[in-house]
Structure 1
Amino acid sequence: MSEVADEAGWDVEPGDEIEPLVQAVGRMLKVFREAAGMRVAELAVAMGYGEDMIRKIERGVRIPRPEFLDRVDQLLNAQGNLRAFMEDMEKARYPKKVRELKELEDRAVEMLLYSNHHIHGLLQTPEYATVMFENRQPALSVDVIEREVAARMARKSVFEKEPAPALVFIQEQVTLERPLGGKNVLRRQLEHLLDVGRLRNVALQVMPTNREEHAGMHGQMEVLKFLDGTAIGRSEGAFNGRPVSIPRDLRILELRYGMIRTQALPPRESLAFIEQALGAL
């Protein structure tokens, strides 16, 4: 199988609710291929992919990339029937857990986010995100890293929403100083933080390392609030790390988050802190 064959798509996660749709697209591909009088081997050569990859897509165990559907639709004269699923396959390519998280983030009208080990995913540049996944152990494959980074970047569409949600990010000082991927990666990441931190709907705060009081000892935390008054929250060191949605538990998380905000630098001072960190590189 050629190297480009792996670029045709991504494997379907077992039990994923998107599986029936992927299988339907695969069956449709097979119908149009046979109607065009092409064998699997001929389609593979014409598309520049391996036969095994084409068979996997037709069996519904491989999610085709949108660009694959665009090309094969033209090749098989499918009259847009395959191309019509490009947007669905774009969403399906992301891991199930990421799709579920993105759905919550897209619904949120306010997000309270605290990160202590790394830059929050919604704030990461593609280079920084790639380094994050490259540092995972056991090591991830190139295909998985690419898929995870693409999914993380897709979540950043939250910054383009109208009306814009209120976003509060609190970052530990160390996350602004650890040169993951090298100084150039960190430099571009800090520049991006400054751009995002200047958005009117964003409050970006830095928690200095020298604070003698710190309410964030429970680790990473997030609270997402929705238009209907409901919310969902999670903290690494609370409620066994499980998401919570009942008011009593949410009050605990919001209390802790409120304390972290008061202990962190205010937004204007935080941006100045980031500019200073950038200048020191």
Structure 2
Amino acid sequence: MTPLTGNGENETGILRCFGQQVRLLRTSRGLTRAELGVKLGYGEDMVASVELGRRIPRPEFIERADTVLEAGGLLTVMKEEVARARYPAFFRDAARLEAEAVELHVYASKAVPGLLQTDEYARAVCEMWLPLLDPETVDQRVGYRLARQVIFDCQPSPTISFVIEEHVLRRPLGGHAVMRGQLEEVLLRAQQRNVVVQVMPIGCVEHAALDGPFTLYETHKGQRLAYVEARNDSRLFSERRSVREYEEQYGILRAQALTPRESLGLLKKMLGEL
């Protein structure tokens, strides 16, 4: 079992290390921050923020900087680590597993899963977070959450399934217009050949996972893991006995939930009610 914490220390260290590398390369080339910004197509403030470890640079920034500063790959080799820093610390390992998964199974009981969220819904969720996130952090988290959705277009296609509580789909976070768009997105994804969406109805008298949401992963190496998320304190289980318990829960949940066809019908019905 691997505990994941949300203290952000690793994230800060990675960003500071990358920023120091950029600063050393820049000064060794005799460039000011403003001059480097012009060459990269960014403002001086952006360069300063990256050098000080305050901003997470996008991949294109890193690639341009490596070329302009003639770093010979010194900066691009850190691109993957810097990219992982864009996620909250408690989700970083899960994000890595998600990107590598050949199978991904999600049980959602609090909000629409991030992989299915629209821009508007994700923004509403992030803006409700307490303590309040600053606008720049909200923009970053929304952008990175949407970027995760490339998994739906990966080849070969991973097998992806969701069991979502009906009350999650009926709670109009962000307003009815936002929720209409969100239901349309869930319905669209549910019709992809490699995606299955099932709804756990409110009226179900039996329930195998009352202790909360979780995600199951299987990697291309055959490793099977379970990720259980709580507020800023999440755990990744790799020990077979623990993972098997969550797999058993998920299997029973799927049997208790509406069938995929019934779930599509309910989604369409809910859309008509908005």
TM-score by structure 2 length?
Answer: 0.81
Distance in 1 separating the partners of 2:234 and 2:84: 26
What's the offset of the Cα at 1:279? 0.8
The residue that corresponds to 2:20 in the other structure is: 23
The residue that corresponds to 2:260 in the other structure is: 267
Distance in 2 separating the partners of 1:86 and 1:152: 23
Structure 1 residues 142 and 173: alpha-carbon distance in aligned structure 2, compared to 1, 3 A threshold: same
Matched residue SS, 1:151: helix
Deviates more, 1:223-232 or 1:195-204: 223-232
Matched, 1:91 2:83: yes
The residue that corresponds to 2:5 in the other structure is: none
Given the alignment, which residue of 245, 248, 253 partners 1:252?
245
Equivalent AA in structure 1 for residue 156 of structure 2 = P
Structure 1 residues 280 and 164: alpha-carbon distance in aligned structure 2, compared to 1, 3 A threshold: same
Q: Which has the higher contact order (CA 8 A, sep 6+)?
A: 2
Kindly report which structure 2 residues correspond to 1:64-75, keeping only aligned pairs within 5 A, or say none: 64-66=57-59
Matched, 1:279 2:272: yes
Maintained 8 Å contact 2:90/2:234: no
Matched, 1:243 2:239: no
The residue that corresponds to 2:200 in the other structure is: 207
What's the offset of the Cα at 1:79? 7.2
Structure 1 residues 54 and 174: alpha-carbon distance in aligned structure 2, compared to 1, 3 A threshold: same
Distance in 2 separating the partners of 1:209 and 1:226: 33
Matched residue SS, 1:15: helix
Matched residue SS, 2:253: helix
Which of structures 1 and 2 has the bigger CA Rg?
Answer: 1
Matched residue SS, 2:162: strand
Kindly report which structure 2 residues correspond to 1:160-179, keeping only aligned pairs within 5 A, or say none: 160-179=153-172
What's the offset of the Cα at 1:93? 5.7
C-alpha deviations, 1:219-245, integer Å up to 9, x for none? 1021111233321113469xx963211
Matched, 1:113 2:106: yes
Kindly report which structure 2 residues correspond to 1:37-76, keeping only aligned pairs within 5 A, or say none: 39-40=32-33, 49=43, 54-66=47-59
Maintained 8 Å contact 1:63/1:93: yes
TM-score by structure 1 length?
Answer: 0.79
RMSD (Å), alpha carbons: 3.2
